[in-house]
Amino acid sequence: MSWLGNSSLTIAAIIGGSIVLALLGAFFGLLYRGIDRKLAAHMQGRIGPPIIQPFRDVRKLLAKESIIPDGGVSWLFQACPFIGLVASILLLTYIPVFGPGALLEGYGDLILILYLLIIPSLALVVGGFASSSPFATVGAQREMVIMMSYEFPLVVAIIAIAWRISHVTDINPFIFSTVAQYPIWNQVGPVGVAGSLILLFTLLVVTPGEVAKVPFDIAEAETEIAGGLLVEYSGRNLALFYLADTIKAFAMVSLVVALFFPYNLSPVIGIGAAAPAFVVDALFFLLKVFLVMFISVTLIRTAMARFKISQASYIYIMAMTLIGLVGLILLHVDMIV
């Protein structure tokens, strides 16, 4: 009976924690989306929408009817937005956010994160095909190509970090707590620092592709294929995809922070009490997320135009994969010099 009681308490804590993370992820994802749009507008000499505009967009979409296109696979068309949102929320439960460890730490690692990152994109692809729209079909084909392209440099960067950490500890290097305990910058010399910077650069370039932002938003391309994957989505279904996209963006940037900047501020400034330390570390985490998002998403999409599908595929499969391998080689050289 005792075990059942503890098990029930754990399950309740996980469910409650997941709901809280989903709400926080949606809130900060939408907030960062609004800040991103405002900053991009100012850098382009525009006023831009108010920061709270993404919240208004979601509220308006949730109040509208979801229209099912004629000829579409109705049940699959409506299931895909929900699947994409759930997968995006699951990402937050395995990635350490707001300072402490992940909610489901010990139940999954970086390899699982790689699989979970694919699911929201797959949901978009399947939803596009299920809509029976030729524009969505083209967008789905493009999304598949982009998805297969950025997985190569993403995997190289993550495996390189875990491989280097594995040489200083016997603990599983693919667990976030191990990455936080043995930050990559503390384990390498000058050559290794150069390799780590290259791997960081690789992930910063992968991020806009992972979250489908300019110049890697080829699958949507409103001016070419009228929104592509999402052309037939409306109302609540479109709101779910919108929320999934913002939460995934927040999770992806949180992943970069967890891999390269797993530091807390409270020990540095001498805060020992649990509650104040949590607040300080959470605010510090949000600052790190903002800086990474500004560099990897806002600056890139403001400075560049949309790539062709062939250009984007080449950049990821060839250029960024090779650059990531150079970073891995430098980490190896750092060990033997």
Look at residue 172 and give its three-state secondary structure. coil
Task: Calculate helix-pair angle for 53-62, 235-260, nearest 10 degrees.
Answer: 140
**What total number of domains does the chain contain?**
1
Give residue 239's domain range: 2-336
Which of the pair, 99 or 296, is modelled with greater confidence? 296
Whole-model pTM above 0.85? yes
Say how far apart CA 50 and CA 324 lie, in whole Å.
Answer: 38
Q: What is the pLDDT of residues 190-217, one digit of tens each?
A: 999 999 999 999 999 999 999 888 788 8
Say how far apart CA 242 and CA 194 lie, in whole Å.
Answer: 37
Who contacts 298 (Cβ-Cβ below 8 Å, separation ≥6)? 36, 39, 40, 43
Q: What is the pLDDT of residues 218-261, one digit of tens each?
A: 877 776 666 678 888 889 999 999 999 999 999 999 999 999 99
DSSP for 72-130? S-HHHHHHHHHHHHHHHHHHHHHS--SSS--TTTTS--HHHHHHHHHHHHHHHHHHHHH
Mean pLDDT for the chain?
89
